[in-house]
Amino acid sequence: MSPPSRNPVLGIVLGAAGVAAGVAAGIAADRAGRHRAALDALETTEQLEITPDEERVLLTSDGVALHVEIDEPAPEAAAAAAQGLTSGDDPGRLPTVILTHGYCLSLKSWVYQRRALKAAGFRVVSWDHRGHGQSGPGASDSYVIDQLGEDLRMVIEDTAPEGYLVLAGHSMGGMTMLALGERHPDLIRDRVAGAAFISTSAGGLTLANGGRSATLGRLLLERVGPSVLGPLGERPELIRRLRRVGRDVEEFLVDQNSFASPVPRKVVRYTADMLLSTPFDVINDYLTTFDGFDKRPALAEFKDTVTLVFNGRQDVLTPPAHSELIVEGIPGAEHVVVNDAGHIIMLEHPDLLSAHLLELVEEGTRAREQHIELPRRPRVRRIVTDVAKNRRQRRIELEADEVVRAERARALARLRRAKVAAGSKEEVRRES
């Protein structure tokens, strides 16, 4: 039997996409006004772009160009950070922080943390996975976690060949850290002062098991992904047109599935651009790497490393149960669960995460410099609430309600005027 033509598949997919968009819009209709008003009320003039101090392109052994950005702290900031923290107050002994992003995102997702770490005096390296952001594509069979671990090793060797390291990984980035630890345990043991596993999984549980909608989305990707994403990947110009038409629905769906509390519209748009700019063939080819993923044995390689496990309580992709397994595998790791937080937590609660990362960097550096043996204490789990953001949110919700009421009043007034105008025209026609 000959393989089916791709054009009919594409037609079916686009038809299904149109129906799905219509259904989504219908479901969202009752909430869209208030949702839009809340986003508008949250909007700020803050810029989300960051200019690195240095950019590099690293060529992997299989010919993939990896995009890397480096943020260098001001000398006075580094000197202040080293004061009382490193031997001889030497800034040169401060760790380099390596940030590794998640699936379908890019190094841009770390914008807030990069700013905070650099301002605090620490050198920061962030990079794009193969097929993501500004990095080049790889062969389809290279989109596996083990290869990403080797890519991370290469980034470290090029940008921070000596000195202490603090590794932070979000989602697939945390999985990449485990692959690095599995293949290169000596690197973790000898150089890694701190590790942050953010909204990620070590395996042992199904991804996206956070509820019916998440499970449905996962099953859709698993069953339809290869037949849908491949053909769409060959029509990028069509995808761009569809995105322009459905921007409101797109923003709504990204917001609802990435965040569990209101964020500025600019942040929603920023996230959507990262998620939906990832080539569809790359999204499709990466899917199989999550099947049967299990790196729990590699957690043992971080047992002598100060470790932070950080995730959102409402994360539908990697719920707290995934983080619990990580903490169980790393004695003494701190587990922070954030209320009203979804999967893209570094953009939803940026200040909270940045504060915990800075604490991790300092604690890890101090432990290395003073040769402090980490206590084999029971795992620690804290549930925290971003109080400052909650206060802003309550104020914004009140403002949003006022905006919606005003919009409804104006719409009703317009409707009445239209009815009066229509009645006047009808009377004129009758008289004539």
* Phi–psi pair at 294, nearest 5 degrees: -155, 105
- CB atoms inside a 10 Å sphere around CB 263: 24
What was the pLDDT predicted at 373?
Answer: 82
What was the pLDDT predicted at 41?
Answer: 55
**pTM (predicted TM-score):** 0.78
- Digit-coded pLDDT (tens) for 236-268: 555 555 555 456 656 666 777 788 888 888 898
CA angle 95, 197, 57 (to 5 degrees): 60
For residues 344 and 338, give the distance between their C-alpha atoms in angstroms, rounded to a whole number.
Answer: 12
Contact between 279 and 236 under an 8 Å Cβ cutoff? The reply is yes
Q: What Rg do the C-alpha atoms of the chain give, in angstroms?
A: 24
Sheet containing 65-71, strands listed edge to edge, beginning at the edge strand earlier in sequence:
54-59, 65-71, 123-127, 96-100, 165-170, 192-198, 306-312, 334-338, 380-384
What was the pLDDT predicted at 424?
Answer: 63
* Cβ neighbourhood burial of 381 (10 Å; 0-12, 13-18, 19+): middle
For residues 372 and 200, give the distance between their C-alpha atoms in angstroms, rounded to a whole number.
Answer: 28
For residues 312 and 345, give the distance between their C-alpha atoms in angstroms, rounded to a whole number.
Answer: 7
Contact between 198 and 174 under an 8 Å Cβ cutoff? The reply is yes
- CB atoms inside a 10 Å sphere around CB 284: 21
What was the pLDDT predicted at 42?
Answer: 59
What was the pLDDT predicted at 97?
Answer: 98
DSSP-assigned letters across all residues of 243-279: HHHTHHHHHHHHHHHH-SS---HHHHHHHHHHHHHS-
Tell me the two tokens of residue 409: 């009043």
Residues of the chain with pLDDT under 70: 1-45, 208-253, 375-381, 386-404, 422-432
- Helices marked H in 160-199: 172-183, 185-191
